[in-house]
Amino acid sequence: MEPGYIALFRSGELQRRAHALEARLASCDICPRQCRVNRFENELGFCHSGHLPVVTTVCAHHGEEPALSGSRGSGTVFFGNCNMRCVYCQNYQISQNWQQQKSRQVNCRALAESLLYLQDELGCHNINFVSPSHFVPQLVGAVLEAVPLGLRVPLVYNTSGYDSVASLRELDGIISIYLPDLRYASDKWARKFSQTPDYVARARQAIKEMYRQVGDLKVDESGLGQQGLIVRHLILPNGLAGSEESLSWLARELSPTVTVSLMSQYLPRHRARRIPALSRPISLAEYERVLRLLADTGIENGWIQEMGAAENYAPDFERADHPFATTPER
């Protein structure tokens, strides 16, 4: 299955979208924050990001869902900064560290070359853009540069779910696999723990648009994802994720055939240790309750992390020997 962005490149549509998205940076409305700052002048809004993308890590990731990691890994591009402020963020070292801004900025050509490094030198099955919501124009600009260099693997949009539907529509046909989180079913907790008072409506609208574009997950004969939606749901302690409501919404508003990745890896990282409701891992009882909820909704496609997996999914971007700690020399 040839990725759709190749046909869009041939027709000139990819270039048109790249230019249209970039123009919006002059009064930025790329994500739901709509800060309206001029990022061409490096005015900083909520995401603390200027004109150039901040790229913290480029690597082959073997810990994603099996349909993404396969045998050779998912080619992850970790963007810096974020349009959320999750107090428990496991990637807080790069998502909420504003000092990285200048040292880790790259232009679209350099980012395009990194995509080819992941595809050709590391042999990754796909390109996996992590936390891309505030860098959609730069993502598309890099793809525009990379296609004539030989980019040909599926693109994965790995997001918190706090995305602009208008921006997502510009990605129609470019992104093969959407991998959003569905973090909360209550704006009360979204506001308190992630500074996103409108998260529920925004994430649900975004996920509906993603599903409209790509539908259910489709895999090849090797089980590798080629197109479709995978929704991640992280179980939080004390029922704060609203698992029952979120899983029921997915089955009702999308389809019971939707692919769900149920995650048990929560650890009280970053500021969460100081917040009583979030200061512990999930319990076995909480885990088993969400498994029963998943069965009750009739959702059967996807993956379930085992209890006790949390320590395996705790990256340390500051550790020199950590696979997420370095980017390739260009």
Tell whether 328 is covered by a domain: no
Query: For position 320, what pLDDT does the model report?
Result: 45
* pLDDT tier, 328 (very low <50, low <70, confident <90, very high otherwise): very low
> Is the pLDDT assigned to residue 3 strictly greater than 70?
yes
Query: For position 321, what pLDDT does the model report?
Result: 47
Taking only Cα atoms into account, the Rg of the chain, rounded to an integer number of angstroms, comes to 19
pLDDT tens track for 193-221: 999 999 999 999 999 999 999 999 999 99
Helix (H, G, I), strand (E, B) or coil at 310: helix
Residue 169 makes CB contacts below 8 A (sequence gap 6+) with: 209
Tell whether 162 is covered by a domain: yes
Mean pLDDT of the chain: 93
How far are the Cα atoms of 44, 147, 177, 180 from residue 227, in angstroms, in the given order?
34, 18, 5, 14
Query: For position 322, what pLDDT does the model report?
Result: 47
pLDDT tens track for 6-43: 999 999 999 999 999 999 999 999 999 999 999 999 99
> Is the pLDDT assigned to residue 258 strictly greater than 70?
yes
Query: For position 246, what pLDDT does the model report?
Result: 98
**In this prediction, what percent of the chain has a pLDDT beyond 70?**
93
**Cα–Cα distance for residue pair 330/44, rounded to 1 Å:** 27
Q: What is the mean pLDDT of residues 289-298?
A: 96
Query: For position 98, what pLDDT does the model report?
Result: 80
pLDDT tens track for 276-288: 999 999 999 999 9
Quick one: which of 266, 220, 216 has its CA closest to 240?
Answer: 266
Q: Decide: 93 and 87 in contact? Cβ < 8 Å.
A: no
Q: Residue 34 belongs to a domain with what CATH number? A: 3.20.20.70
Tell whether 319 is covered by a domain: no
> Is the pLDDT assigned to residue 141 strictly greater than 90?
yes
**Cα–Cα distance for residue pair 202/198, rounded to 1 Å:** 6
pLDDT tens track for 221-239: 999 999 999 999 999 999 9
Tell whether 322 is covered by a domain: no
* pLDDT tier, 312 (very low <50, low <70, confident <90, very high otherwise): low
| Burial environment of residue 72 by CB neighbours within 10 A (0 to 12, 13 to 18, 19 or more) | middle
pLDDT tens track for 43-88: 999 999 999 999 999 999 999 999 999 999 999 999 999 999 999 9
**Cα–Cα distance for residue pair 310/90, rounded to 1 Å:** 11
Quick one: which of 261, 262, 260, 266 has its CA closest to 236?
Answer: 266
Query: For position 315, what pLDDT does the model report?
Result: 61
Query: For position 313, what pLDDT does the model report?
Result: 60
DSSP string, 32-62: TT-----GGGT---TT---SS-BEEEEEEE-
**Cα–Cα distance for residue pair 72/41, rounded to 1 Å:** 40
Residue 264 makes CB contacts below 8 A (sequence gap 6+) with: 235, 282, 287, 304, 305, 306, 307, 308, 309, 310
> Is the pLDDT assigned to residue 259 strictly greater than 60?
yes
Residue-range definition of the domain harbouring residue 216: 4-313
* pLDDT tier, 103 (very low <50, low <70, confident <90, very high otherwise): confident
Tell whether 324 is covered by a domain: no
Tokens of 1: 């299955």
Instruction: Give the DSSP H/E element, type plus range, for residue 189.
Output: helix 187-194
Tokens of 16: 């048109």
How many independent structural domains does the chain possess? Answer: 1
Tokens of 310: 């949390």
